[in-house]
Amino acid sequence: MPELRSLLAAATARLGERADAELLLLHVLQQPRSWLFTHADDELDTDVQTAFSALVERRAAGEPVAYITGRRGFWSLELEVTPATLIPRPETELLVELALQRLLPDAACSVADLGTGSGAIALAIARERPHAQVVATDASTDALAVARRNAQRHTLGDVAFLHGDWLAPLAGRQFDLIVSNPPYIEAADPHLVQGDLRFEPVGALASGTEGLDDIRRIVRDAHVHLHPGGWLLFEHGWNQGDATRALLDSAGYTEVFTAQDLEHRDRVSGGRRGG
Ligand code: GLN
């Protein structure tokens, strides 16, 4: 029987990515990553080997690791993801950080996350701000089911999930903070038909010819849903900082800004409802 070490080396060679091979093997074994270091010499039985090579072949055919394992880490949370949800990305943690900077740790506050997908942003905020009342919306009932399971799994405070497009389910309500990671890729971007993106819901990725259709709607519609002084913050593409600030300015937001991610690319813009 082959040792774990050699199985992993072969899978790494096949996939060109050791991290992917490890995640798939740990998923088959249902073990945490720390387990690998103390079990490299273990011999793995045939069932494990067969199951592992089936997953390696799915990955080799292009399927994202997160959809194969049904899991992805975001912030301090391990989240369930399915093909109904976007796979949470590390750069989106910037949006969470900027949101937390605007929410006092011990004060009651209200937050809306538009197009929550797996619930990543809403649940990270709920984890860090236990006094926050968080509402998350999504147009996909399948995505909302995943987000609800993620909320239950982590037994996080006050998070409600509502079905509908962007702000539609929030009629008559106002918030201290509205956040969103909307779709923002240009509809003709060739990346949409390459790599992992092929497997993700296109409605969560692409948004019209300039990628700005949904951001335009959110900027326009969010203003009346903010308390005076409340913030709108949203993620966008590296080349959309100027355009999104112009949208925020002309919709009457104040303190309009763009923040850059760890790779120094424009990533999140926002503004405040005047007092
Ligand atoms: N950041 C993602 C990507 O470029 C897109 C996510 C989104 O459209 N919200 O792959």
Q: Which residues contact 236 (CB under 8 A, 6 or more apart)?
A: 184, 211, 215, 244, 266, 267, 268, 269
Q: What are the C-alpha distances in Å from 163 to residues 8, 28, 80, 148, 199? A: 42, 34, 19, 12, 23
Q: What are the C-alpha distances in Å from 270 to residues 181, 222, 235, 246, 266? A: 12, 11, 9, 11, 12
CB burial string 32-66: b at 16+ within 10 A, e below: eeeebeeeeebebeeebbebbbebbeebeeebbbb
14 CB neighbour count, 10 Å cutoff: 15
Residue closest to 165 by CA, chosen among 201, 142, 138, 185? 138
Q: What is the pLDDT along the chain (275 residues), one digit of tens a residue?
A: 678 999 999 999 999 999 999 999 999 999 988 888 899 889 999 999 999 999 999 999 999 999 999 999 999 999 999 999 999 999 999 999 999 999 998 889 999 999 999 999 999 999 999 999 999 999 999 999 999 999 999 877 789 999 999 999 999 999 999 999 999 999 999 999 999 999 999 999 999 999 999 999 999 999 999 999 999 999 999 999 999 999 999 999 999 999 999 999 999 999 999 87
Domain ranges of the chain: 4-61, 88-272
- 88-272 adopts what CATH topology? Rossmann fold (3.40.50)
Q: Which residues pair with 132 in a beta bridge?
A: 109
Structure tokens at 24: 């798939």
Ligand 1 binding pocket mutation candidate from 118, 186, 235, 266 (most atoms within 8 A of CB): 235
Residue 248 Cβ < 6 Å to ligand 1: no
Backbone angles phi, psi at 227, to 5 degrees: -65, 155
pLDDT of res. 2? 76
Report pTM. Answer: 0.94
For the CA of 182, the closest atom of ligand 1 is 9
Q: How far is the CA of 183 from the centre of ligand 1 (A)?
A: 7
d(CA 102, CA 112): 13
Decide: 146 and 66 in contact? Cβ < 8 Å.
no
Residue 183 Cβ < 6 Å to ligand 1: yes
